[in-house]
Structure formats: structure tokens, C-alpha cells
Structure 1
Amino acid sequence: MKTLNILLIEDDMIEVMKLNRAISSLQLHHKITEANNGEEALKLLEHKDSLPDIILLDLNMPKISGLEFLKILKADDRLKYIPTIILTTSNNQRDLLECYKIGIAGYVLKPLKYEDYVFKIEKLLSYWSINELITV
């Protein structure tokens, strides 16, 4: 399995720590770059030489919402192929439908129990680490 370059866009530091803890407890060696909001993420994505393999995106964020960020991402010819997976607590059907319309690669609900969260993260990352990813 290959090592993934992951861009995590999440404004809640506890969630950021939780993902890092899950990856480390699973002994995965993926590289995680963190952005606290969509604006910060867009600045990171300007560096064309180091684009992420996948993006994990929270929907509820300040400044640019997850949906707004997605629209900007998918309108960019260079960035639109980066698989973007929503990692959220929102099981709002409208959000779900809107995200798939824009072109997400997955929508994962964050479970309350940490063990369930680790299980989901393991499945999610093992799936993407065996995928053939486009590098533009």
C-alpha cells in the first residue's frame, strides 16, 4: 500500500488530533497536511508541485463553508481531480446530495465512538491507498 499525501481541512483541533491519533495507532505512515479552513487550504493548493492525493473535508467551517470550498475546487482544472471525501457529523440529506452533485468521492459520517472512528478511517485510507490516482 502506498503512502498518501492527505490534506485535512478541519477547524476543530480536537478532530485534527483525533485523526492524527487514529492514523498513528493504526501504524499508517500517511503524510497529513492540516488546514484550519477553506481559505488556508486554497493557499496550500497553490503549490502545484505538492498537491495532495486526497482531501478530507469537514463541511461546517468558518470563512468558506465546505460546500463553497468544493465548488471552488471543482471549478479548477488542476484541482478538480483530487478525490475529496467529506468527513462530517452532518447527516443532512440536502448536504449529502449537494456534495455528490458537486463531485465528491465519498461522504463519511464521524461516529461518536472513537473505536468506530478508527475503523472507518482505516477502511477509508486503505481504499484510497490502493487506488490509481491522477497526478496532473
Structure 2
Amino acid sequence: MEYKKLKVLLIEDDTIEVMKLKRAIAKLEMPHDLIEAKNGEEALEILKDNSSLPDIILLDLNMPRINGLEFLKILKSDELLRFLPTIILTTSSNRKDMLECYKEGVAGYILKPLKYDDYVEKISTTLNYWSTNELIKG
């Protein structure tokens, strides 16, 4: 099957988690471009440049300044950005967090597994799914 190359915006403040995702993408030999933002504010700066919008956003919930949920609310209130598929990638299995995220319109909620191989499998499934989807281009 032919997979599209995705431009993925990762919003994650933990350097180890960023490295883990990069390692997983490299291990899977996926051609996707990864754009990194350390927090919601940095991500909003990146998203202001409408000429280079990502195809999907991977968003951590627990971040300083603007947390994931606050970022999501800002994103979903924007006329253009609200259509970007946003997938939560978190350690929080808190049902309240999950419900809030779905209420705001997330495209998915993925729990980071403890085992690295399980993590790689979840990343593979997620990115393969979104690279077969028809995505709205800004």
C-alpha cells in the first residue's frame, strides 16, 4: 500500500519523548517530516505560518504554560486550524481528560505504553492510518 508523506507537528515538552518518537519513526522507516514544538505557545507560533501547516498534530496533555487541553481549545476556535486532525499522545488515562478532549474534537486519544515495542506499534498504526486518510489542505 502507498502511504502519503505526512507533515507531523509534535507538541511535547519532554525531550526524551521527542527522541522516542523520532527513534520510532526511524525504526519504522517512515518518510514523515516531524516539526517539533516544546509547548502550546511555540506550536501556535508555528501554526501562524499558514503556508506550512502540518497534516496532523500529536499533542501531549501535560505541558507548562498552555497545557494540551487549553491548546486544543485555542486550536478548535480558529476557523482554519480547527480542521487539523489532532491526536492526543499522553500518559494520562484520566477519564475526565479523555472526555474533555473528545468534547473539544480530537481525532484520537492514544495512551503511551510503557514498553517501547508497544509504543512503536501504536505510532506505526497511527501514522499509517493518517497517511491513508484524505486530508484537508489549507
The TM-score range, normalised by the shorter chain, is over 0.9
Using the TM superposition, give the Cα deviation of residue 91 of structure 1 relative to its aligned residue in structure 2, in angstroms: 0.2
Alignment-derived partner of residue 67 in structure 1: 69
Using the TM superposition, give the Cα deviation of residue 98 of structure 1 relative to its aligned residue in structure 2, in angstroms: 0.2
**SS where residue 134 of structure 2 aligns?**
coil
Aligned-residue Cα RMSD (Å) equals 0.3
**4+ runs deviating over 3 angstroms:** none
Which stretches in structure 2 are left out of the alignment for 5+ residues?
none
**SS where residue 80 of structure 1 aligns?**
helix
Using the TM superposition, give the Cα deviation of residue 135 of structure 1 relative to its aligned residue in structure 2, in angstroms: 1.1
Alignment-derived partner of residue 98 in structure 1: 100
The equivalent position to 2:12 in structure 1, one of 7, 10, 13, is: 10
Alignment-derived partner of residue 129 in structure 2: 127
Which stretches in structure 1 are left out of the alignment for 5+ residues?
none
Separation of aligned partners in 2, 1:70 and 1:120:
22
Q: Which amino acid aligns with 2:24?
A: A
**SS where residue 8 of structure 1 aligns?**
strand
Aligned residue pair count: 136
Using the TM superposition, give the Cα deviation of residue 41 of structure 1 relative to its aligned residue in structure 2, in angstroms: 0.1
Alignment-derived partner of residue 87 in structure 1: 89
Q: Tell me the TM-score normalised to structure 1 length.
A: 1.00
**SS where residue 135 of structure 2 aligns?**
coil
Identity of aligned residues (%): 67
Q: Which amino acid aligns with 1:124?
A: T
Once the two structures are superposed, the pairs formed by residues 111-122 of structure 1 within 5 Å of their partners are 111-122=113-124
Q: Tell me the TM-score normalised to structure 2 length.
A: 0.98
